[in-house]
Structure 1
Amino acid sequence: MSHSPRPVIGITFSSRDLERVRFSLWQDMLRGFAEAGAATLTLDCHRPQGDLATVTQRLDGLVISGGADVDPALYGGRTDDPALRDIDRTRDDNERAALQAALDAGLPVLAICRGLQLVNVAFGGSLYMDLKRDRDVSSTHELHEEALSAPLHTVDVAPASRLSQWLGGRSGRIAVNSEHHQGIRALGAGLVASAVAEDGLIEGIESPAHPLVAVQWHPEMLWPTDENARRLLAGFVDACRADRAADAAVTPGAAR
């Protein structure tokens, strides 16, 4: 790992969701990014954040983390669907604002699980509101939070993708963990699939126009036992470090 200054990454979360998640999982996530070489700043998107775009643009990278369902009103879904779980429109709006600010600033973005779904919706895509009910799936995508500590199924990573690059050049089939009941139905405009599960569900997406990667699994929870998860976190942090260095080269001595 380089001895250059640690890049500062912002990690979105919901203080409401955090109340329902084992604190050890949250600690593992923060420790994972720290082990990968980053300094972390948490962004509570459950509460109104009028200056979130300004804060985001001063970071070196952005992580959009997991959590509850995205408001289906944002993609033309049924807002009264009984399968919906814990919608938080304030979080949706804050994370979309942070995402747009990061894209405008050219920051590397890693979106995880719900984050992938939020990114897809932000780019005009849609979601299956419940995979078991709305899609014929052969893979198991959801068990319980404790299952995040071990792989649950596999995905095929596209060669020459940014995801493959952040995985240290690894492509093809890798094992991933999983804990989600929704997934991508229609891919957002300008996005491409970079990982697909055995049952055909898109589980990795990215933007050729931006340093943006989104995955449906949870590398921030699997990294203590899985080399590919560690590589993905490290690859993202390395991209943030390179972006920080490039910014410093353009404006010597200036803070982002």
Structure 2
Amino acid sequence: MTDMTRASRPLLLVVDVSDEGRDDPAFHAELRALTASVLRAADEAGFDATRVAAEAAGVEGLLAELERADAVLLTGGDDVDPVFYDGQAEYPGRAQTFPAADRAQMALVVRAVEARVPTVGICRGMQLVNVALGGDLVQHLPGDAHVRAGAPDDSMVDHDVRLDPASDLAARLGGDAFDVRSSHHQAVGRLGGGLAAVAWADDGTVEALEHTAAPLWCVQWHPEDAGARGDVLSDLLAAARDEVAPA
């Protein structure tokens, strides 16, 4: 991890999926805007942040980045390739996949959990964490329940989420009920090793995970969206900052 005597602030590794090859330029631009919001919030939370695209970095590159990082945040984005969780190759609403990025990010998650590097996952980031630790995904939510159909310029859906009041995440976020913004057509299915579901939407969709032993917290919604309410992103980054190992 970063030598804290050589850095005035801890380093947050912000991991996106890819910088090129997307079929939908508008979606790519939306993801870049969301990442920019994360980087601003990281600065406000006391981190120096570096952004890396997993597809370009590959497994070795991403693990090398982890060696110098104090915390990790996995952003949202594209579908996780179903080959990594033995899913059906074809399913309703299948989006573009980046298997090289998936492979690199999964290696990163496993190493971060082993090394107890504080880790936050957002939307796809949460799904990737679950797959990396041996879980699977609901490949398509019935009726696109969490995606606003027919509105590509604003795919966010506002809805309520309830957290387990006894969870670490509820304590970190300062409450057990939130009005959130989501945009996803997949969800966590069977839980990966060491993970606990700690939040749900009204339809039963898992909305947050935490690890039972490592400093890892994930949310399915988008606290970094410009229209998000509350301080969830700041609180997640504060949780990671609080867990950074002292020099």
Is TM-score (shorter-chain normalized) higher than 0.5? yes
The normalised TM-score by structure 2 is 0.84
Among residues 106, 111, 124, which one is paired with 2:121 in the alignment?
A: 111
Contact 1:69 1:86 in 2 (8 A): yes
Task: State the percentage of identical aligned residues.
Answer: 34
- C-alpha deviation, 1:108, in angstroms: 1.0
Among residues 142, 146, 149, which one is paired with 2:154 in the alignment?
A: 146
Unaligned runs of 5+ in 2: 1-6
Distance 1:6 1:237, change over 3 A: farther
Residues paired across the two proteins, number: 231
User: 3-state SS of the aligned residue for 1:85?
Assistant: coil
Among residues 127, 142, 146, which one is paired with 1:132 in the alignment?
A: 142
- C-alpha deviation, 1:5, in angstroms: 3.9
In the alignment, which residue of structure 2 is the partner of 1:251? Answer: none
Cα separation, 2, equivalents of 1:225 and 1:123: 29
User: 3-state SS of the aligned residue for 2:185?
Assistant: coil
User: 3-state SS of the aligned residue for 1:97?
Assistant: helix
- C-alpha deviation, 1:82, in angstroms: 5.2
Contact 1:127 1:184 in 2 (8 A): yes
Contact 1:57 1:105 in 2 (8 A): no
Distance 1:146 1:25, change over 3 A: farther
User: 3-state SS of the aligned residue for 2:207?
Assistant: strand
Among residues 208, 217, 224, which one is paired with 2:221 in the alignment?
A: 217
Cα separation, 2, equivalents of 1:141 and 1:72: 20
Contact 2:83 2:89 in 1 (8 A): yes
Among residues 11, 23, 43, which one is paired with 2:14 in the alignment?
A: 11
Distance 1:225 1:92, change over 3 A: closer
Distance 1:130 1:92, change over 3 A: same
Equivalent residue letter for 2:234: A
Among residues 32, 35, 49, which one is paired with 1:26 in the alignment?
A: 35
* CA offsets 1:192-244 (integer angstroms, 9 cap, x no match): 1111000111111111111111111011225x7522xx2x3333333333333
The answer to whether 1:162 aligns with 2:168 is: yes
In the alignment, which residue of structure 2 is the partner of 1:121? Answer: 131
The normalised TM-score by structure 1 is 0.81
Cα separation, 1, equivalents of 2:10 and 2:122: 19
Supply the RMSD in Å over aligned alpha carbons.
2.3
Cα separation, 1, equivalents of 2:121 and 2:224: 11
Equivalent residue letter for 2:175: R
In the alignment, which residue of structure 1 is the partner of 2:246? Answer: 247
Deviates more, 1:232-241 or 1:82-91: 232-241
